[in-house]
Amino acid sequence: MASSLQLALGLLILVASYTLGPKTALFHFHIIFPLGVWLLCDGLNFRFTGRSTLHGPRRKVLAMILWGALFGLFLDFQMVAVTKILRYLSVTAPLLALGLYIGWGFCLPAIYESYRLASLLTRGFTKRALVPTRWRKALLSTSGPVGMILFAFPLFAFLYLDASGPLIIPAFAGLWLLLEYGIYRRRGSKGLLESLLEGFWSPLAALTLASMTLTLIWEGLNALMGSWRYQNLFWLEPRLLGVPLVAFFGYFWWYLLFLSLHQLVSGDEIWY
């Protein structure tokens, strides 16, 4: 019964966002949208596998929301202040800004549960190692320094040069490598980078499926509401169902970053 109510509430939030959001132009519907995704995907995962974050310890749920909010603030600094690729058009008051980061908080469990749901459909890819075994440890060990260089360069450009939008690519890549390096040094679980180097490709397929789906439904809502826009970037045109092509790659990176962050801070095994 609880999972049925959860599924119904998640679906209701998504439907309300699409029906009332464009009519009212209230940014609040973007704030609750990832909550709807989380509830829906979490409920489906509970039905199919018996596993759920929402039915787990409350401390873990609150920690995910808090980490998601803090990480969203950090990503916004990169996208809005440093590279200026994103501009919020509807966040015009302090309370809305606070709500924005509550919405970012919902993003972490929404991304986690939607990835887990997608992974049910993409298992079974043939395992084929990307690099020889003797190279893997060296690549994992250097992911930290390389990540630091990639991450620091856009900040340097922001402070001393005329930083441009495409620098978000090394910023995100460097941040992901730093997170993966932290997972590697922790020794408690295997990160995505290590899994890929060993030839385990199913997570990449699940990431693609989940991120493309979320891009279409969330950016599709933004196309109707005009709450934010992308700028100072490539592939803003043409659009697919009103969504800039560059957004599909952006959401893929968000999945990488949020899931690696979650694995680093929680120790959960994700890439199965």
Residue written as token pair 């120790």: 267
In this predicted structure, what is the pLDDT of residue 126?
65
In terms of DSSP H, where are the helices of 77-215? 94-119, 133-160, 168-186, 192-197, 202-214
> Of 172, 175, 180, whose CA–CA distance to 203 is shortest?
180
Evaluate if residue 211 carries a pLDDT over 70: yes
In this predicted structure, what is the pLDDT of residue 19?
97
pLDDT digits (tens, 9 = 90+) for 38-65: 999 999 999 999 999 998 899 999 999 9
The average pLDDT across 84-108 equals 94
Evaluate if residue 217 carries a pLDDT over 70: yes
Q: Mean pLDDT score of the chain, rounded to an integer?
A: 92
Domain borders along the chain are 2-266
CB 102 within 8 A of CB 69: yes
Q: Rounded CA gap, 63 and 124, in Å?
A: 32
Q: What's the token pair of residue 14?
A: 């998504």
| Cα dihedral 89, 93, 97, 100 sign | negative
User: How buried is residue 86: exposed, middle or buried, by Cβ count under 10 Å (0-12/13-18/19+)?
Assistant: buried
pTM across the whole model: 0.94
Q: Which of 122-126, 218-222, 266-270 has the highest mean pLDDT?
A: 218-222
Q: Rounded CA gap, 224 and 22, in Å?
A: 6
Of 94 and 187, the structure prediction assigns the larger pLDDT to: 94
Instruction: Give the SS3 label for residue 162.
Output: coil
Evaluate if residue 89 carries a pLDDT over 90: yes
Q: What would you measure as the largest C-alpha separation in the chain, in angstroms?
A: 58
Q: How far apart are the first and last CA of the chain?
A: 29
The average pLDDT across 222-236 equals 94
Residue 79 identity: M
> Of 8, 214, 194, 207, whose CA–CA distance to 121 is shortest?
207
Evaluate if residue 1 carries a pLDDT over 60: no
Bond before 170 cis per omega within 30 degrees: no
pLDDT digits (tens, 9 = 90+) for 97-154: 999 999 999 999 999 999 999 999 887 766 777 777 788 888 999 999 999 999 999 9
The percentage of residues in the chain with a pLDDT greater than 70, rounded to a whole number, is 97
Helix axes 58-76, 245-266, angle to 10 degrees: 130
In this predicted structure, what is the pLDDT of residue 2?
62
CB 234 within 8 A of CB 246: yes
Residue 145 identity: P
pLDDT digits (tens, 9 = 90+) for 158-202: 888 776 889 999 999 999 999 999 999 987 678 999 999 888 889
CB proximity list for 218: less than 8 A, separation 6 or greater = 33, 34, 37, 251
Of 228 and 132, the structure prediction assigns the larger pLDDT to: 228
CB proximity list for 229: less than 8 A, separation 6 or greater = 86, 87, 89
In this predicted structure, what is the pLDDT of residue 167?
93
